[in-house]
Structure 1
Amino acid sequence: MADDRYAAIVRDLTSGKILHSVAAEELRYPASLTKMMTLYLLFEDLQQGRVSLGTELAVTSNAEVQPPSKLGLQTGETIEVEDAIKALVTKSANDVAVVVAENLAGSEAAFADRMTRTAYALGMTRTQFRNASGLPDPEQVTTARDMMVLGTALQVQFPRYYAYFKTPSFTFRGHVHKGHNRLIGKVQGVDGIKTGYIRASGFNLVTSAQRSGRRIVAVVMGGTTAKSRDQQMAALIESYLPQGQMRSLAVGERVAAAGADPVLSTSVEPEAPVPAAIKPLKIAAAQGIATTGRAVAYVVQIGALPSREAALKILRETQAAHADILSGFEPIAAPYKSVVRARYSGFSDRQAAFGVCEQLRRKRVTCQVLPL
């Protein structure tokens, strides 16, 4: 794995500790790891009822001419959302990525903007998207750490839909398409999630694995071959999964999707326990949030921006655009490490915060509810 593009990170999702990190904050090309975010937004629209698994997505000429890997969709055809999910997970189909983008946002450029905004909201502070597929673009960049955050968020926010990442193959119009993730079924405990490759990136892989109550998310980027990348990932799993903290969890606990925040969402409850992560931060008096006798208070976070000015700008713009939802709530620009979190406070309880976030999501504003 001696390559200047190499980067890796391993995180224990029970304790939140980083167990291994090499160049994890350095910029890299995501390649088809991009499709994790394409799927994140599709899952978000599914969860919000904007589409269903049976919704027919229209194919445009722009989608048709995408280079391989692809399903070979033709202009004027349609593909159901569930088949699109399976095509992205297994075939990593570039034409399908464009179909999803154009149907959800009107254009791939508009969808890429939404992808980047969502990345910032999740705490992926060094990621920028320019397309939905991961095809080469010098401005489409990320880090191993940011891909770890996204890999975590997918299983936390959408436990029901995350199961698609286990799909080994799927049949579409009589053709069987096999998945590219060779570790599923070969390395004990691996349950997803995505591979990626372009010449500039090398071979990339984000993987989740669990055994005996322990769970990790690991990222390898810049592998020289698919085989060496898989071997490196398998070695990381065998080395660090046994070091993970084992914990007995209640259904509904959530992994931290970014930084030190446990992510709480309105997503469908998981069918199996999902490990919790870092303990909630103590309430800071400077933030001026009353707990009314409770152990925790809640905020609605709409982004993690590079500066206080940027955070305040998005807070003001969002509050002005959705005054009917956000009137009376206090905007807070809260510094954390290298970012400033854009938040609203003043909620009477957890349910009230969830209610506001749900209304914002219906307006296509990405948000999450966080305890303090």
Structure 2
Amino acid sequence: MTSLHSQRARLLPALILLVVFAIALCTLSVAEAAPNPRYASIVIDTENGAVLHADNADAPRYPASLTKMMTLYLLFEAIEDDTLSLESRLPVSQYAAAKPPSKMGVTPGETVKVEDAINILIVKSANDVAAVVAEGLAGSESVFAGQMTDKARALGMMDTTFRNASGLPDAGQVTTARDMAILALRLMQDFPGYYPYFGKTQFTWQGKRYQGHNRLLDSYAGADGLKTGYIRASGFNVATSAVHDGRRILSVVMGGFTAQSRDAHMRELLDSGFARVASLAQGDWVAQADIYGERLQSPASPAPTRDDPIRELIAQAQSEQGDARPTPTAERSTGGAWAVQVGAFSDRMRARHQADQAADFLDLGGRVAVSSTQGARSIFRAQLVDLEESQARRSCQQLAREGIDCVVVASGR
């Protein structure tokens, strides 16, 4: 009996530990499964702006220090138009010096060189230096925030309002994952000479070395930028771009529970994004809406593998009806202000061909148009324009039922 009691005594702590461990695992599973109201994400192909993945991409979110990407955009503009140079020095005010952390601890009366400010904003994400830049460019941070919002609208960031240059908490400072992706993409396209700054993991200032927070630059092969951010209201945010096999994609994750879980999820999104880009490599047609568009289907739907899906759709319809055209199912255009976009291409003729075939299949009155966006390379959007909104939506739904992705946009977008 004594031996049995002794064995039980020895086993009891182990049993208790096992029970505690099991409870902890259950608690962790529940926590991981709990919905995250701050979460949002988007993945795009930077070559053509195609959306490869989107989840809550247009839901309002707090940008936190992703805000500093716009501060940097305006700073790069000032350098490019010779308002400033990399060697220019920006004065530190009492207002800027009083900003809460993260900060460099600059003091009123000293100056910060513009190139140092760039490194500081990207790597250290210092709020005091963000205010220094704002005051240096606009005289005050409030005026600068207005300029940031104006620039956001000009770039197509229609759901973003800035209230400060740093991303410090402000209930009125909101954005979306899509808008942050647009901003990151425009930074790469408009200022390619300055983009390498976003790949820095450390810098030296006043004799001291500072290490950055962006662990993805070291933990994901091909990652070379851009920016992290965190405030309590936003959760852990990050915008990341990476290159694999000569193709670049860009992703934004917002609302991570921890920096580690955010980074792990970003790695998953980048992996799946590159896999999807590879699956589309057979043809030049882009199956997804571009980043500025509004999808009618889930962006996670499988990408068509056909080289020319609209051509195949027309051929199928004609084989069923002889040489007759498909029965018209959409009304004639009445000169409205909406469009159906059926692809984005690197070649104008290919875009025109795609739009012509879409018009032929739909037997839809209206004007075929090819619009272009300028950046590192031109992207041509194939559209049927001059439609009423209801016409455009019904037409896009008709294409969607046949497995053809499309997007409804306001004409001119």
Q: Which whole-Å CA distance do the structure 2 matches of 1:238 and 1:183 have between them?
A: 13
Which residue of structure 1 lines up, in the alignment, with residue 374 of structure 2?
Answer: 264
Q: 1:82-121: CA deviations, max 9, x gaps?
A: 0000000000000000000000001001100000000001
CA distance, structure 2, for counterparts of residue 284 and residue 239 of structure 1: 33
Q: Is the 8 A contact 2:385 2:411 kept in 1?
A: no
Query: Which residue in 1 is equivalent to 2:229?
Result: 196
Shift of 1:263: 3.9
Tell me what 1:155 maps to: 188
Greater relative contact order, per chain length (Cα 8 Å cut-off, separation 6+): 1
Sort the Cα spacing of 1:19 and 1:285 in 2 relative to 1 into closer, same or farther, 3 A.
closer
Read off the aligned partner of 1:142 and give its amino acid letter: T
1:54 has 2:155 as partner: no
Q: Does 1:102 align with 2:135?
A: yes
Q: For 1:144, give the aligned amino acid.
A: A
Residue 77 of structure 1, aligned match among 92, 105, 110 = 110
Cα distance, 1:280 vs structure 2: 3.8
Partner deviation per Cα, 1:182-213 (whole Å, 9 max, x = no partner): 01022011110000000000000001111112
In 1: Cα distance, 2:193 partner to 2:373 partner: 16
Please tell me whether residue 6 in structure 1 is matched to residue 44 in structure 2.
no
Cα-to-partner distance string for 1:41-83 (whole Å, 9 max, x where unaligned): 0001111111000000000000000001011000000010000
Q: Identify which of 100, 112, 122 aligns with 1:67.
A: 100
Provide TM-score, normalisation by structure 2: 0.63
SS at match of 2:157: coil
> Which residue pairs with 1:207 in the alignment?
240
Displacement after TM superposition at 1:340 (Å)? 7.9
What's the TM-score, normalizing by structure 1? 0.70
2:49–2:291: 8 Å Cα contact kept in structure 1? Answer: no
Secondary structure of 2:216's counterpart equals coil
Secondary structure of the residue that 1:63 maps to in structure 2? helix
For the aligned residues, what is the CA RMSD? 2.3
Check the 8 A contact 1:156/1:257 in 2, yes or no.
no
Q: Percent identity?
A: 51
Q: Quick one: which amino acid aligns to residue 97 of structure 2?
A: E
SS at match of 1:279: strand
* 1:339–1:106 Cα change, 3 Å: farther
Residue of structure 2 in register with 1:279 after alignment: 380
Candidates 74, 79, 97, aligned match of 1:41: 74
What is residue 167 of structure 2 aligned with on the other side?
Answer: 134
Shift of 1:283: 9.5
In 1, Cα distance between equivalents of 2:409 and 2:384 = 20
CA apart distance, 1:5: 0.5
Q: How many Å separate the matches in 1 of 2:412 and 2:93?
A: 38
C-alpha distance in structure 2 between counterparts of 1:277 and 1:148, whole Å:
18
After superposition, what is the alpha-carbon deviation per residue over 1:312-362, rounded to whole angstroms, capped at 9, x for unaligned? xxxxxxxxxxxxxxxxxxxxxxxx9676869xxxxxxxxxxxxxxxxxxxx
Query: 1:180, CA displacement in angstroms?
Result: 1.0
Aligned to 2:53: 20
Separation in structure 1 between the aligned mates of residue 245 and residue 38 of structure 2, nearest angstrom: 33
The answer on whether the counterparts of 2:373 and 2:380 sit within 8 Å (CA) in structure 1 is: no
What SS does structure 1 have at the residue aligned with 2:66?
helix
Aligned-partner residue type, residue 64 of structure 1: A
* Change in CA separation of 1:263 and 1:164 when aligned onto 2, cut-off 3 Å: farther
* Alpha-carbon separation, structure 2, partners of 1:339 and 1:119: 18
SS of 2:164 mapped into structure 1: coil
Aligned partners of 1:129, 1:164: CA distance in 2, in Å?
23
Report the Cα distance in structure 2 between the residues aligned to 1:95 and 1:42, rounded to whole angstroms.
15
The one-character-per-residue Cα deviations of 1:131-163 (angstroms, maximum 9, x if unpaired) are 000000000000000001001000000000111
Q: Distance in 2 between matches of 1:339 and 1:40?
A: 27
Larger C-alpha radius of gyration, 1 or 2?
2
Q: How many residues align?
A: 276
- CA displacement at 1:40 relative to structure 2: 0.3
SS in 2 for 1:207: strand
Aligned partner letter, 2:380: K
Q: Partners in 1 of 2:260 and 2:123 — Cα distance?
A: 18
- Structure 2: where are the runs of 5+ without partners? 1-31, 282-289, 294-343, 345-370, 388-406
Structure 2 SS opposite 1:124: coil
